[in-house]
């Protein structure tokens, strides 16, 4: 015996809304919580930051000052220095791509214990940036692990001032960013590698291609979308780098502003100097720079 259940709808609603309208309404109702969340935590702050960038907001008071923050910003040598440092930080991106792809190729084999190595390589991605920063502060200290090893090997006589030499501060911190990110992006590449049919490698081997040729002509084109994705994500992450810099420079931005990236300069203006209006202008301009950079990045990635 079959039971047919009729769904009763109020006659008036059924008359007012067509099927399409009902579906649309349902979709929006499902979207509503997420939209409300975005409105509160994304769109409203975004609009307020843009508004504050035209004020002298100092956390307590705000007056409209027009485009003064922007004109001051474009004349501020420290801002342009910080933008330059942020772009220098981008050197981490190709290093990350090469290292994480290489690691992915290495662990993409059926070897005993490979799962353990995959987990180990991924581990830095799940450790907090604060813990990583503190650990590497010890690694790079004058009596730290790295100087100790170099001294034991006889490579140096005096400790290298990784965090006291203005020329070394940024590269030192970038190396931590690379260490932290390489396992994370490795997992992405690993997923990409596993989608490449094994037959292609076998065919290439039969054709006499060596290992480098096989990876250059099969692996790299096969994971090109992942390379673009990793390139974009790691570039944005590099431009927004803050945690490692903050921890490893003890919140100072490095000796003689050697680690002063745009994000750190924004933080300093907003939360050390309380120049929230000016910091908002930095946020707006730097966001635009990141958007343009990402668009170019995607365009180039797509064309290739």
Partner 1 sequence: MKQLRFCLVLVLSLGLLGSALAQSGSEELAARQADASNPFWNPNEENLASWQVIDGVEEGAEITFWTMSLSPTFDEYIQQIVANFEATYPGVTVNWEDVPFDGLQARVRNSFTAGNPPDVANISPAWIAEFAEAGLLMDMDAAMAEYPELREQYVDTAWNTGAFGGTSYQVPWYLALSNFLGYNTALLEECGLTVDDLPTTWIELETFASTTLDTCGYYATSLNFGPATEQYLMDYLIYNDAVMVNDDSTVDFIEPQASEALQVWVNLLENDLIPRSSLTDDHRNMIDRFSEGETLLVMIAPHLLRLVDENNPDVYEQLAVASGITGSSGASRVDVQALVTAADTEFPNAAMALALFVTNPETQAEFSKWAGIFPSNFGAYSDPYFASTEGGQLPQIRPLAFDYVQNADNRSITFPNDAEVQQAVTEATQLALLGQASPQEALEQLETRINEIVQQ
**What does the binding site for partner 1 look like in residue numbers (CB under 8 A)?**
58-61, 141-142, 159, 161, 163-164, 166, 249-252, 255-257, 268, 272-274
Indicate the residue among 216 and 273 with the shorter CB distance to partner 1: 273
The nearest distance, CB 281 to partner 1, in angstroms, is 16
Token duo for residue 6: 């009729």
Yes or no: say if 264 and 245 are a contact pair by the CB < 8 Å rule.
yes
CA distances in angstroms from 229 to 33, 102, 225, 256, listed in the order given: 29, 16, 6, 35
The nearest distance, CB 114 to partner 1, in angstroms, is 41
Closest CA to 78 of 275, 261, 304: 261
The nearest distance, CB 110 to partner 1, in angstroms, is 47
The nearest distance, CB 100 to partner 1, in angstroms, is 31
Indicate the residue among 54 and 57 with the shorter CB distance to partner 1: 57
Closest CA to 235 of 188, 166, 200, 185: 185
Indicate the residue among 63 and 210 with the shorter CB distance to partner 1: 63
The nearest distance, CB 174 to partner 1, in angstroms, is 18
3-state secondary structure of 64: strand
Yes or no: say if 213 and 226 are a contact pair by the CB < 8 Å rule.
no
The nearest distance, CB 250 to partner 1, in angstroms, is 4
The nearest distance, CB 145 to partner 1, in angstroms, is 14
Indicate the residue among 175 and 252 with the shorter CB distance to partner 1: 252
Indicate the residue among 111 and 256 with the shorter CB distance to partner 1: 256
Which residues contact residue 21 at a Cβ distance below 8 angstroms, ignoring those fewer than 6 apart? none
Which residues contact residue 150 at a Cβ distance below 8 angstroms, ignoring those fewer than 6 apart? 156, 160
Indicate the residue among 163 and 188 with the shorter CB distance to partner 1: 163
Indicate the residue among 150 and 218 with the shorter CB distance to partner 1: 150
Rg of the chain over Cα atoms, rounded to whole angstroms, equals 26
Closest CA to 49 of 303, 280, 285: 280
**Cα 257 from Cα 276, distance rounded (Å):** 20
């Amino acid at each position: 015996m079959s039971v047919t259940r009729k769904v009763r709808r109020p006659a008036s609603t059924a008359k007012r809304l067509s099927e399409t309208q009902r579906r649309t309404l349902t979709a929006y109702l499902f979207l509503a919580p997420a939209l409300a969340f975005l409105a509160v935590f994304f769109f409203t702050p975004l609009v307020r930051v843009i508004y504050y960038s035209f004020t002298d907001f100092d956390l307590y008071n705000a007056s409209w000052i027009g485009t003064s923050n922007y004109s001051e910003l474009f004349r501020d040598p420290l801002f342009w220095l910080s933008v330059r440092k942020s772009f220098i930080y981008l050197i981490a991106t190709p290093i990350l791509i090469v290292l994480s792809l290489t690691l992915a190729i290495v662990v993409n084999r059926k070897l005993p214990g490979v799962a353990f190595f995959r987990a180990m390589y991924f581990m830095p991605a799940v450790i907090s940036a604060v813990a990583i920063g503190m650990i590497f502060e010890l690694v790079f200290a004058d009596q730290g692990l790295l100087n100790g090893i170099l001294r034991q090997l006889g490579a140096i006589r005096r400790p290298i001032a990784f965090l006291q030499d203005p020329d070394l501060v940024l590269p030192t911190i970038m190396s931590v960013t690379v260490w932290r990110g390489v396992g994370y992006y490795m997992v992405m590449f690993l997923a990409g590698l596993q989608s490449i049919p094994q037959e292609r490698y076998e065919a290439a081997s039969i054709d006499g291609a060596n290992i480098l040729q096989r990876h250059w002509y099969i692996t790299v084109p096969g994971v090109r979308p992942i390379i673009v994705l990793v390139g974009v994500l790691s570039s944005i992450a590099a431009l927004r780098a803050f945690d490692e810099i903050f921890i490893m420079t003890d919140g100072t931005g490095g000796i003689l502003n050697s680690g002063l990236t745009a994000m750190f300069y924004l933080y300093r203006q907003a939360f050390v100097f309380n120049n929230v209006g000016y910091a908002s202008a930095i946020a707006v301009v730097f966001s635009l720079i990141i958007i343009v950079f990402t668009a170019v990045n995607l365009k180039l990635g797509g064309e290739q």
